[in-house]
């Protein structure tokens, strides 16, 4: 693809390898300690990786503002596996701006036929369970075997607390340096629904870019696990032995949503305890409804540190894939997920258009005050608000507010 944003070479003097700036004395170079020749700067931004500038990069005019790409450029860039365009495509998908939304959807429609030939693996567990360590150890092995791995995160806490449980430390350092892997932190801003939409769409972009294994990581808090379950093929619950509350997963019903329980940190002094915990989980799982039809949820033990058991975890993922593909459950689940996603998007759109309606916004504060003050019931208020939205003339049908 021709890139016309690169600075015009004609505008720069040709470099003959001996460029002498005008301030260099005539006989400099013969005298010791005087630098004479000036090397030209690197024309593209270095990607920081050893072995030269293999990544396609571009320099931009000094305004600092990058020109917007066309949908064609996004699609071509993503399909050819161009990392910098991939990152920009994801940024486009994550944007909340209305004008980006349309472009993102056009791009996604074109990328969709190239996505899907993957395994989508969800992974959850309390902070500290070792999610990033396991993904790193497993991910490096998968890269070695020629897989291309994208790691996405769904972390709704980033919008609630302003910080992020998943993103506040240097994570997966080795994996992030591996050319076979791409790690994208949780999109920020907005409610979980928004974060989930962005992650789903990011997944499509990564798949179209040739990543064949997708990890979607989430923290073991509340709704985010249900959200991630709804976008992956197989769901892993990472546990640790002796965390004080072995039944934590059961209470929250997470164990009924997962396909594999993996007890991490089975190393050193902890090996026996981890094995005992694994056996306990296996016993408990026996009494629970499996999450996937035709697949018996099982418990494994591993260590992200020593690598023990890591291959077995992946073997179980492969077995799950083979088993559910043969039974048709794999495809059926993806179809159902797409339908659920569609319905979610409809609801999201309805909500956005309702709360964005000028008449609704104008009258909302007064109606809220009336509900708080017990002047009208929530049901009456909802009916009123819906009528306000439907009122094309923008006439306020609010009952007069009682003076305070
Ligand atoms: P996350 O919050 O679930 O992503 O957990 P991390 O991967 O950041 O790991 C939390 C802590 O547990 C870190 O201090 C890790 O070094 C440690 N850890 C992770 N995996 C293992 C393991 O297999 N064995 C041991 N002994 N420690 C581990």
Which has more pLDDT, 95 or 140? 140
Q: Which of 126, 128, 183 to mutate to test the pocket of ligand 1 (most atoms within 8 A of CB)?
A: 128
pLDDT at 20: 52
**Cα separation values, 28 from 41, 123, 144, Å:** 22, 63, 52
Ligand 1 atom with minimal separation from the 127 CA? 2
- In angstroms, the CA 292 to CA 151 distance is 23
3-class SS letters over 123-182: EECCCCCCHHHHHHHHHHHHHHCCCCEEEEEECCHHHHHCCCCCCCCCCCHHHHHCCCEE
- In angstroms, the CA 374 to CA 359 distance is 22
Give residue for tokens 């083979």.
322
Which pLDDT band, with edges at 50, 70 and 90, does 273 fall under? very high
pLDDT at 53: 41
Residue spans of beta strands (DSSP E) within 171-285:
181-184, 213-218, 234-240, 260-264
| Nearest CA, atom 14, ligand 1 | 128
- Counting residues of the chain whose pLDDT is more than 70, the rounded percentage is 72
- In angstroms, the CA 88 to CA 93 distance is 9
Q: Residue 300's beta-bridge partner residues?
A: 262
pLDDT at 29 over 80: no
pLDDT at 289: 87
Give the pLDDT mean for 43-66: 47
- Counting residues of the chain whose pLDDT is more than 90, the rounded percentage is 52
Assessment of whether the complete model's pTM goes beyond 0.85: no
For 91, other C-beta atoms within 10 Å of its C-beta total 14
Which pLDDT band, with edges at 50, 70 and 90, does 225 fall under? confident
| Nearest CA, atom 15, ligand 1 | 130
Ligand 1 atom with minimal separation from the 171 CA? 8
| Of the candidate ranges 24-33, 79-88, 225-234, 339-348, the one whose mean pLDDT is the lowest | 24-33
Radius of gyration of the chain measured on its C-alpha atoms: 27
pLDDT at 6 over 50: no
Which has more pLDDT, 253 or 251? 253
| Nearest CA, atom 6, ligand 1 | 130
- In angstroms, the CA 34 to CA 46 distance is 28
- In angstroms, the CA 123 to CA 220 distance is 9
pLDDT at 320 over 60: yes
Which has more pLDDT, 252 or 86? 86
| Nearest CA, atom 7, ligand 1 | 130
- In angstroms, the CA 351 to CA 341 distance is 15
Which has more pLDDT, 196 or 327? 327
Ligand 1 proximity of 220 Cβ (cutoff 6 Å): no
Ligand 1 proximity of 303 Cβ (cutoff 6 Å): yes
pLDDT at 57 over 60: no
pLDDT at 156: 65
User: By C-alpha distance, which of 74, 56, 57 is closest to 204?
Assistant: 74
End-to-end CA distance of the chain: 67
Mind listing the pLDDT tens digit for each residue in 150-201? 999 887 665 444 445 555 445 788 898 898 999 988 776 556 666 778 889 9
| Nearest CA, atom 25, ligand 1 | 265
Give the pLDDT mean for 14-41: 47
| Nearest CA, atom 20, ligand 1 | 130
- In angstroms, the CA 228 to CA 153 distance is 9
Is 306 within 8 Å of 138 (Cβ atoms)?
Answer: no
User: By C-alpha distance, which of 218, 216, 139, 223 is closest to 181?
Assistant: 139
| Domains parsed from the chain with CATH numbers | 67-113 (1.20.5.170), 115-327 (3.40.50.300), 357-402 (no CATH)
Ligand 1 atom with minimal separation from the 268 CA? 26
pLDDT at 224: 81
Mind listing the pLDDT tens digit for each residue in 360-374? 999 999 999 999 999
| Of the candidate ranges 19-23, 122-126, 302-306, the one whose mean pLDDT is the lowest | 19-23
- In angstroms, the CA 352 to CA 356 distance is 6
- In angstroms, the CA 184 to CA 169 distance is 14
Which pLDDT band, with edges at 50, 70 and 90, does 376 fall under? very high
Give the pLDDT mean for 107-136: 92
Give the pLDDT mean for 141-149: 96
Ligand 1 proximity of 264 Cβ (cutoff 6 Å): yes
pLDDT at 215 over 70: yes
Give the Å distance between the CA of 202 and the centre of ligand 1.
26
Is 227 within 8 Å of 130 (Cβ atoms)?
Answer: no
Ligand 1 proximity of 128 Cβ (cutoff 6 Å): yes
- In angstroms, the CA 80 to CA 346 distance is 32
pLDDT at 309 over 80: yes
- In angstroms, the CA 231 to CA 279 distance is 29
Mind listing the pLDDT tens digit for each residue in 97-115? 888 888 999 999 999 999 9
């Amino acid at each position: 693809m021709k890139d016309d944003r690169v600075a015009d070479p004609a505008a720069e003097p040709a470099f003959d390898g001996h460029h002498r700036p005008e301030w260099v004395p005539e006989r400099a170079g013969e005298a010791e300690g005087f630098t004479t020749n000036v090397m030209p700067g690197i024309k593209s931004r270095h990607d920081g990786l050893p072995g030269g500038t293999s990544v396609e990069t571009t320099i931009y005019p000094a305004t600092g503002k990058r020109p917007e790409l066309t949908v064609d450029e996004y699609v071509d860039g993503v399909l050819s596996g161009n990392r910098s365009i991939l990152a920009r495509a994801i940024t486009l998908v994550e944007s909340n701006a209305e004008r980006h939304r349309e472009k993102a959807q056009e791009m996604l429609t074109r990328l969709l036929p190239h996505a899907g030939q993957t395994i989508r693996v969800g992974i959850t567990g309390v902070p500290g369970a070792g999610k990033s360590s396991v993904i790193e150890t497993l991910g490096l092995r998968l890269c070695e075997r020629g897989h291309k791995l994208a790691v996405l995160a769904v972390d709704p806490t980033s919008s609630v607390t302003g910080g992020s449980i998943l993103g506040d430390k240097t994570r997966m350092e080795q994996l992030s340096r591996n050319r076979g892997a791409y790690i994208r932190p949780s999109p920020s801003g907005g409610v979980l629904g928004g974060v989930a939409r962005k992650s789903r769409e990011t997944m499509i972009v990564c798949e179209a870019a040739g990543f064949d294994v997708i990890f979607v990581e989430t923290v073991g808090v509340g709704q985010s696990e249900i959200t991630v379950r709804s976008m992956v093929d197989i769901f892993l619950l990472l546990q640790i032995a002796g965390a004080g509350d072995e039944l934590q997963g059961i209470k929250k019903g997470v164990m009924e949503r997962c396909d594999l329980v993996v007890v991490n940190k089975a190393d050193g002094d902890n090996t026996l305890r981890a094995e005992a915990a694994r056996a306990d989980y296996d016993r408990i799982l026996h009494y629970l409804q499996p999450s996937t039809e035709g697949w018996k949820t099982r418990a494994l033990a591993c260590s992200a540190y020593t690598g023990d058991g890591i291959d077995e975890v992946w073997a179980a993922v492969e077995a799950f894939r083979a088993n559910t593909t043969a039974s048709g459950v794999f495809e059926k689940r993806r179809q159902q997920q797409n339908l659920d996603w569609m319905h979610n998007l409809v609801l999201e759109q309805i909500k956005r258009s309702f709360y964005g309606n000028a008449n609704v916004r104008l009258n909302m504060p007064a109606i809220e005050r009336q509900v708080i003050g017990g002047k009208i019931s929530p049901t009456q208020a909802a009916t009123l608000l819906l009528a306000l939205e439907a009122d094309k003339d923008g006439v306020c049908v609010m009952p007069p507010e009682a003076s305070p």
